[in-house]
Amino acid sequence: MQEYGLFRPIDSQALGSGEKENRPIPEPGPNEVLLHMSCVGICGSDVSYLKRGAIGDFIVKAPMVLGHESSGVVAKCGSNVKNLKPGDRVAIEPGVPCRMCNFCKSGKYNLCPDVVFCATPPYDGSLCRYYKHAADFCFKLPDHVSLEEGAILEPLSVGVHACRRAGVTMGSNVLVLGAGPIGLVSLLTAKAMGASQICVTDIAENRLHVAKSMGADHTVLVKGGNLEALAEEIKKLMGDMPDVTIECSGAESSIHLGIVATKSGGVLVLVGLGPSEVKVPIVNAATREVDIRGIFRYVNCYPLALDMIASGKINVKPLITHRFKLEESIKAFETAATGSGGAIKVMISCE
């Protein structure tokens, strides 16, 4: 039998409705591998599904296994699998597309309308003892890269995709709005891609201390007030307006700040997901030719993210602040939801 960390969103107002459940160990298909799960990081989306039972149009209508930031060890290979063997340690890219539609064929498989994504309703996630997954979406880890680092490849790939969409390159001045896990991996990625200056904002001073320790050149504590004045403060700190702004909170005020703070002709990338509709100074962006670009997850980013970690260009280990066993999943989710103890990335061990 296989033990799942199964969370039932019965009470959408509180944590604690999760349950564990035993199910049969799945059998991998011809192009799949069975994985003995190792590490699963908790994402904000996991917390939202547990607490509220939904994220936008994605609504949990039946008990669903959470978890999509994960790594494991190959236990069994399907008959057609040639790239992996039992015993291989792998990072798991959680979204498996159809491979047949025009989005997939043009290399934009993250936009595939039929993608099967771990822990996105109605599909179960990987917070369990054993899990099967498409072999071509499992990436073998070098011996010196840990399974915890393998799990962090998922949020790091978001940072890679954001910086690629933004066009971050050698000499870029970059503003990162929000110092949560995604803001911090965006900071690390921008730095590795050659950004000359990076400024990070947040409403929590402790997270700004972390950003500073991870390489931010400037930090700004947001206390509310006039956003145009805040943009001017950022400009003074950086010596000029940023070429690129990466918005990682989804808050309306933060998107507003991103528009007015970005240099004319620059790029604002929206990574954080908040309300479905927001009020922003769109004429300001239009008349100054500030490009506003969205991202959805990532595409073809795992290989580069893995290379960045394996080569030492990026150190993601400081992101992991708390560790729990699978049996302690409820406590792990409480820690991630409240941010208690300075939690940034909470990791669950399934071994």
Residue 200: inside a domain: yes
Residues 136 and 8 in one domain: yes
Burial 164-193 (b: 16+ CB within 10 A, else e): bbbebeeebbbbbbbbbbbbbbbbbbbbbb
pLDDT at 62: 87
pLDDT at 56: 74
What is the rounded distance in angstroms from the CA atom of residue 51 to the CA atom of residue 38? 25
173-230 pLDDT, tens digit per residue, is 999 999 999 999 999 999 999 999 999 999 999 999 999 999 999 999 999 889 999 9
Residues 13 and 123 in one domain: yes
Closest among 40, 132, 39, 130 to 84, alpha carbons compared: 132
Q: Look at the chain and report how many structural domains it folds into.
A: 2
How many C-alpha atoms does 84 have within 13 Å on its Cβ side? 32
What is the rounded distance in angstroms from the CA atom of residue 176 to the CA atom of residue 199? 6
Contact by Cβ (8 Å): 97, 109: yes
Residues 175 and 233 in one domain: yes
Residues 130 and 245 in one domain: no
Residues 78 and 125 in one domain: yes
pLDDT at 6: 45
Closest among 28, 52, 57, 27 to 121, alpha carbons compared: 57
CATH number of the CATH domain containing 110? 3.90.180.10
**Percent of the chain residues topping a pLDDT of 90:** 86
What is the rounded distance in angstroms from the CA atom of residue 186 to the CA atom of residue 225? 26
123-142 pLDDT, tens digit per residue, is 999 999 999 999 999 999 99
- CB atoms under 10 Å from CB of 91, counted, come to 29
pLDDT at 7: 53
Residue 311: inside a domain: no
Residues 327 and 256 in one domain: no
Contact by Cβ (8 Å): 151, 157: no
Contact by Cβ (8 Å): 27, 132: yes
Residue 21: inside a domain: yes
Q: Give bridge partners of residue 293 from the DSSP assignment.
A: 269
Residue 305: inside a domain: no
Contact by Cβ (8 Å): 248, 177: yes
Residue 172: inside a domain: yes
Contact by Cβ (8 Å): 12, 30: no
Domain ranges, residue 54: 2-140+316-349
Residues 81 and 184 in one domain: no
Tell me: cis bond preceding 122? Omega within 30 of 0 counts.
yes
Residue 150: inside a domain: no
Residues of the chain scoring pLDDT < 70: 1, 3-18
pLDDT at 10: 44
Residues 81 and 210 in one domain: no
Residues 320 and 245 in one domain: no
Residues 63 and 181 in one domain: no
pLDDT at 267: 98
Residue 323: inside a domain: yes
What is the rounded distance in angstroms from the CA atom of residue 65 to the CA atom of residue 122? 10
Residue 60: inside a domain: yes
* Max CA pair span of the chain: 62
pLDDT at 80: 98
What's the pTM value of the predicted model, to 2 decimals?
0.94
Burial 113-132 (b: 16+ CB within 10 A, else e): eebbbbbbbebbbbbbbbbb
Residues 136 and 180 in one domain: no
Residues 236 and 334 in one domain: no
What is the rounded distance in angstroms from the CA atom of residue 69 to the CA atom of residue 150? 9
CATH number of the CATH domain containing 254? 3.40.50.720
